[in-house]
Amino acid sequence: MTDATGPMVAADGRPLKASLNRALRRQKMRALLLISPLLFFIMITFIIPIGQMLFRSVENQIVGDVLPTTVVALDAWSVKSGEAPGEEVFFALTQDLVLAAERKEHTRLGSRLNYEDPGISSLFRKSGRNVEVMGEGYAKQFDALDERWAETNTFSEILADPEWLADAAQVETAADMDRFEVNEDAATYLPRTVAAYTSFANYMIADKGKDPAKSKPWNTLHLALFEDLRAAPEITIASAYGDMLRTAAAAVPTFETETLSASFAKIDKDWLDPDVWSTIKRYSPSYTNGYFLNAIDMEKTVDGPAWRPEDQQIYLTLFWRTLLMSMTITISCILLGYPVAWLLANLPARTANLLMILVLLPFWTSLLVRTSAWKILLQQQGVINDIVVWLGLVADDNRLALINNATGTIIAMTHILLPFMILPLYSVMKTIPPTYLRAAKSLGATNWTAFWRVYFPQSVPGIGAGSILVFILSIGYYITPEIVGGTKGVFISNRIAYHISSSLNWGLAAALGTILLAVVMLLYWAYDRIVGIDNVKLGG
Amino acid sequence: MKLTTTLLATSALTLAGSAAFSEAHMADTMTIVSWGGAYSASQQGAYHDPYVANTGITVVNDESSGEAVAKLRAMNEAGNITWDLVDVEAADGIRLCDEGLAIEIDHDTMLAAAPDGTSASDDFGSSIVSDCFIPQIVFSTTVGYRTDMVGDTPPTDICAIFDLETYPGKRALAKKPLANVEWALLCDGVAKDDIYDVLATPEGQDQAFAKLDTIKAETIWWSAGAETPQLLADGEVVMGSTFNGRLFSAIAEQNQPIGMLWDAQMLDFDGWIVPAGLPEERLARVMDYLMFATDTQRLADQAKYISYGPARASSAPLVGNHGELGIPMAEHMPTDPANSTNVFVTNYEFWADYRDDLDAKFQSWLAQ
């Protein structure tokens, strides 16, 4: 907008462009303010929940949260070694599992990992029940050495920061205590015991509201202490317990030891199976592509993604079938709906209204009722088969299979979705002036040319709108396919529903849903490129 | 929509109730979730009505047991538990317990002992399949057949479902592996005691699917237990599996030409779980209700309305006649000695481990 005489200016002397922009911006802001309640509402009730649900398709914090030290200890191990990991991993597992079992988180983790490797669910359930005995042997041997080891406050006296202890003595209820703090000596000489006691103390305070110094210590504390003393016998702790620790350190080499891997194997021999450990390791990161791989019939293996065995592949078939059948349904809706809509748009108002009620009546009837009605009509001993047998078209022992297969799904869903095709078609056709057809004919066009060259192009926006509605609705349908689809007529949504409500594998359901959403968006984009979304009309 | 309204109304009532009756320390409304239909009606008659008569509280019925596991998880994540007591199948009870969505129950202190003093846990016996599960009934998945379509030799053996020569025609089986794979192995010559060991191996699973392959083309797969009686009544299938109560109602209440097998029936349990995270007053009410509704007499009363066996051993002798038909119910119970000569007790631990895996294989097999 600039030329040799400088920018154009408005009446107030500002450049016209800036002034115009400002006015437009204000208008836009006002428009945004007007829709902001709706926008806010949609964000809260629609976009955020859907986003959260879709996020579950990659979320996998549970392994790292429940087995934090095991996951770290497993870093050095590889399934290629062909054997179960060493004692240090089992030590970490004991510490993690005791806490997890107290919090009842181990079974949730078991269910999670069971999706990847059957058998892990009961492995964790059993182990959670028995893990508290691990280290009991050491607890008894420490007791025999000095009775103070069995007292509830010994560990906190040795390990706690004196300031924390003083603070802890001040609080009214244990639940108000600060998180456990350790003293420097203990942190240097007894790192494992400190880690074990910290999780014990924090669990007692935060989850139970109990004073850790008044709670019976877990056996895993003695186990950790044993390992610490065995690793570094030179203890120089100045507290009153220094001598007691040194005596213990001297006695530790004579202790009867316990092999943790053997104890775990006694609970369930699967703990010695490298595959179990490999599954834990593969799913230890906080985010995983495992669900997405499962959703396209692949699996996460040590050597990267690989196809599942053929007898477990199902999802790609289902995606493909869903798209194909949805398209078939859309096309049959167009073929059946177009003449009806034309009739509605061109008949006198009285008759058209009556016909409209016939279109809308099934629309108002319950989905289940309509689907069940199709069952009665289509089954082998049903009305339609009875009629064709009576007419002699097929033999009685060779009745048509019209239901519990893809045919059944297509028939029932075409019927159910037909109004979604007829209504937009009708409202678009209503706006096409009948004079155009007459004009075409008076200029010499045949009936067919007049329809095909003049009428049909004007009704395309209605077909577009109807097709999008029918296609997108049918892609997400699952009740009708479940009832009439048998095995060959079910959609991907039936599997999504199964994983949401029965198997509780929400991660996989979310991955399947995300893929379905992406496919629909892609098709929508393709439609926009080919036909143009402006060319869609829901009405006049 | 209806559910939402009920839930909203319930929470509003609960709030109002707890404010008004705080001295009683028990909520005066409870929402009980069950399966609906005849089953909920039997609970209404045997448990809810007498309890309401004693206490004057309001019981709100919700028929969402089919989606209970998913809904409870969603409620738990939202931190807003609107249900007080939920009726679930044993397998779902285990799942809810594993997920930490149900509270653990001390059966001996929280439930009534039998009249002869036997502790609740002994009285319920093996039906306590999980620490969170309070059993109510024993039901079985068994096979019914059209008496007019099997000729002169009605089936007496579960393997009739695989015998297309003697019993030609369509079969109705559940669209899930449970029961189907066990029967397939049993009829393929695997000893009853070895079935779950065999099923845990890939070869055993292949063997089961190979056996099912022989009838795949002749099978209609159902997803709701009501479908089989309907398919039998319409003559669509010659035989089909479903829950014994459904068959009883088709035979005794609707006089359909249907007979049923009591062979290798899969015994299963149904019972209560208490959702985790209930406020104190509501929890107190639920525990009070449970003490009453799971005692020996109440469990026996339920059998008046429906042909499922009471989960307590001490209830069996108290089972009387059908409420409307007046026929003795004991002989229609899956637990009756005459009916349970050859039963199959579902191995819950196996199914908790292998359910997802076998289901994936089963669905893939169906789609092929």
Number of C-beta neighbours around residue A374 at 10 A: 24
- Mean confidence (pLDDT) of chain B: 90
Residue in A311, A404, A488 closest to B361 by CB: A311
Q: How many residues does the structure list for chain A?
A: 540
Q: For position A531, what pLDDT does the model report?
A: 79
Residues of B in contact with A269 (CB under 8 A): none
Q: Tell me the pLDDT tens digit for each residue of A4-54.
A: 566 777 777 788 888 889 889 999 999 999 999 999 999 999 999 999 999
Residues of A in contact with B36 (CB under 8 A): none
Q: Tell me the pLDDT tens digit for each residue of A204-247.
A: 999 988 889 889 999 999 999 999 988 876 777 767 788 888 88
Alpha carbons within 13 angstroms on the beta-carbon side of residue A256 total 8
Cβ pair A495:B349 closer than 8 A: no
Q: For position B16, what pLDDT does the model report?
A: 43
The residues, ordered by sequence, that sit 6+ positions from A519 with a Cβ below 8 Å of its Cβ are A319, A323
Q: What is the nearest CA distance from B54 to chain A, expressed in angstroms?
A: 36
Q: What are the angstrom distances between the C-alpha of A195 and each of A77, A98, A221, B279, B352? A: 22, 13, 9, 34, 34
SS3 A119: coil
State the pLDDT confidence band at B272, using cuts at 50, 70 and 90. very high
**The tokens of B324 are what?**
């409307």
Cβ pair A504:B223 closer than 8 A: no
Sequence spans of domains, chain A: 1-55, 64-132+260-282, 135-254, 322-535
- Mean confidence (pLDDT) of chain A: 90
Number of C-beta neighbours around residue A35 at 10 A: 10
Cβ pair B73:A504 closer than 8 A: yes
Cβ pair B367:A105 closer than 8 A: no
Number of C-beta neighbours around residue A61 at 10 A: 11
Point out which residues pair with B309 in neighbouring strands. Answer: B138
State the pLDDT confidence band at A368, using cuts at 50, 70 and 90. confident
Residues of A in contact with B237 (CB under 8 A): none
The stretch A63-83 carries a mean pLDDT of 93
The residues, ordered by sequence, that sit 6+ positions from A72 with a Cβ below 8 Å of its Cβ are A92
Q: For position A170, what pLDDT does the model report?
A: 86
Q: Tell me the pLDDT tens digit for each residue of B1-35.
A: 444 444 444 444 444 444 444 445 899 999 999 99
**Helices (H), ranges, A233-314:** 242-251, 260-267, 274-282, 290-295
The stretch A500-523 carries a mean pLDDT of 93
Q: For position B11, what pLDDT does the model report?
A: 46
Cα Rg of chain A (Å, integer): 36
Interface residues of chain B, partner chain A, Cβ below 8 Å: 66-67, 69-70, 73, 95, 97-100, 170, 175, 200, 206, 209, 220-221, 223, 234-236, 349, 352-361, 363-367
Interface residues of chain A, partner chain B, Cβ below 8 Å: 104-105, 107-108, 110-111, 114-115, 118-122, 125, 311-314, 317-318, 379-382, 404, 482-483, 486-488, 495, 498, 500-506
Alpha carbons within 13 angstroms on the beta-carbon side of residue A308 total 23
Cβ pair A381:B236 closer than 8 A: yes
Residue A444 predicted with pLDDT over 80: yes
The residues, ordered by sequence, that sit 6+ positions from A200 with a Cβ below 8 Å of its Cβ are A99, A212, A217, A218, A220, A221
Q: For position A312, what pLDDT does the model report?
A: 87
Q: Class of A322-535 per CATH?
A: mainly alpha
| C-alpha closest to that of A341 among A460, A450, A426, A455 | A426
| Chain B interface test: which of A109, A121, A376 (most B C-beta within 10 Å) | A121
Cβ pair B73:A111 closer than 8 A: no
| C-alpha closest to that of B275 among B94, B66, B81, B12 | B81
Cβ pair A495:B363 closer than 8 A: yes
C-alpha to C-alpha distance for A236 and A528, rounded to whole angstroms: 76
Q: For position A172, what pLDDT does the model report?
A: 85
> Residue B95: closest CA among chain A residues belongs to which residue?
A111
* Per-state percent for chain B, helix, strand, coil, to nearest 5: 50, 15, 35
Cβ pair B99:A503 closer than 8 A: no
DSSP A432-494: S-HHHHHHHHHTT--HHHIIIIIIHHHHHHHHHHHHHHHHHHHHT--HHHHHH-TTTT--HHH
Residue in B200, B223, B236 closest to A482 by CB: B223
Q: Tell me the pLDDT tens digit for each residue of B172-231.
A: 999 999 999 999 999 999 999 999 999 999 999 999 999 999 999 999 999 888 899 999
Residue A486 predicted with pLDDT over 90: no
**The tokens of A96 are what?**
């993690």
| Residue ranges of domains in chain B, CATH in brackets | 2-132+269-332 (3.40.190.10), 139-264+342-367 (3.40.190.10)
Q: Tell me the pLDDT tens digit for each residue of A183-211.
A: 888 888 889 999 999 999 999 999 988 88
Percent of chain A with pLDDT over 90: 64
Cβ pair B361:A122 closer than 8 A: no
Residues of A in contact with B356 (CB under 8 A): 114-115, 118, 503, 505
Q: What is the nearest CA distance from A524 to chain B, expressed in angstroms?
A: 28
**Helices (H), ranges, chain B:** 2-20, 37-43, 49-55, 68-78, 90-98, 107-110, 120-124, 180-186, 195-199, 202-216, 227-233, 244-248, 280-293, 296-302, 348-367
Question: Can you tell me which residue has the tokens 């709701």?
Answer: B224
State the pLDDT confidence band at A284, using cuts at 50, 70 and 90. very high
Q: What is the nearest CA distance from A500 to chain B, expressed in angstroms?
A: 6
| Chain B interface test: which of A108, A122, A405, A492 (most B C-beta within 10 Å) | A122
Q: What is the nearest CA distance from B4 to chain A, expressed in angstroms?
A: 15
C-alpha to C-alpha distance for B362 and B175, rounded to whole angstroms: 9
Q: For position A540, what pLDDT does the model report?
A: 54
Q: For position B217, what pLDDT does the model report?
A: 92
pLDDT-wise least confident of A169-173, A193-197, B352-356:
A169-173
Q: For position A534, what pLDDT does the model report?
A: 76
> Is the CA virtual torsion A500, A502, A506, A512 positive or negative?
negative
Residue A98 predicted with pLDDT over 50: yes
Residue A415 predicted with pLDDT over 60: yes
Percent of chain B with pLDDT over 70: 93
Q: For position A5, what pLDDT does the model report?
A: 62
Q: For position B14, what pLDDT does the model report?
A: 45
How many contiguous H segments (helices) and E segments (strands) does chain B have? 15, 11
C-alpha to C-alpha distance for A334 and A339, rounded to whole angstroms: 9
**How many Cβ contacts (< 8 angstroms) between chains A and B?**
87
Cβ pair B353:A119 closer than 8 A: yes
Residue A433 predicted with pLDDT over 60: yes
* Burial annotation A189-218 (CB, 10 A radius, 16+ → b, else e): bbbbbbbbbbbbbbbbbeeeebbbbebebb
The stretch B60-89 carries a mean pLDDT of 93
Residue B348 predicted with pLDDT over 70: yes
The stretch A128-140 carries a mean pLDDT of 91
The stretch A361-366 carries a mean pLDDT of 86
